Copies of this chain bind each other. A is one copy, B any other.
Amino acid sequence: MNVTLSEAEKVIDAAKKKAESKGTKMDICVVDTGANLTAFARMDGAWLGSVDISIKKAKTAIFFNMDTAQLSPMVQPGSPLYHIEHSNQGLITFPGGVVLKNKAGEIVGAIGVSGSTVEDDHEVAEAGAKAL
């Protein structure tokens, strides 16, 4: 079960609307269960550096089947996954990557959002995920 392109477009549209309602400009990425890019959109004026960060957030979420916000405490100095970011050609382990589930609750992909505070990023990613 993989997110389809039309579902990914719905997810991105919902995320864009949430971003606009918050006055933010986001880079938004959707990957499938194989961690491969399904769709991407950079809102006009969104940070260039967030292109890669949004992609890495989405990949990181699907790599471990959990939101990146759950990883954040585990990657701190002294914590179990310290420096996990060195794997997989670079992970992003702060909030903004959220798994996508279908109505049956199965994971079908992930969304990654970057372009504002990590709280905003996570909120916009959640809004996208809810569109499924």
Chain multiplicity (copies): 4
Given contacts A75-B83, A80-B117, contact A5 B90 (CB under 8 A): no
Given contacts A80-B117, A91-B49, A93-B83, contact A35 B37 (CB under 8 A): no
* Chain B residues closer than 8 Å to A93, beta-carbon distance: 82-83
Given contacts A49-B63, A51-B37, A64-B47, contact A90 B92 (CB under 8 A): no
Tell me the count of chain A residues lying within 8 A, CB to CB, of chain B.
53
- Which of the residues B9, B44, B88, B94 comes within 8 Å of A49, measured between beta carbons? B88
* Chain A residues in the interface with B (C-beta under 8 A): 4-5, 8-9, 32-44, 47-53, 56, 60, 62-65, 72, 75-78, 80-95, 117-118
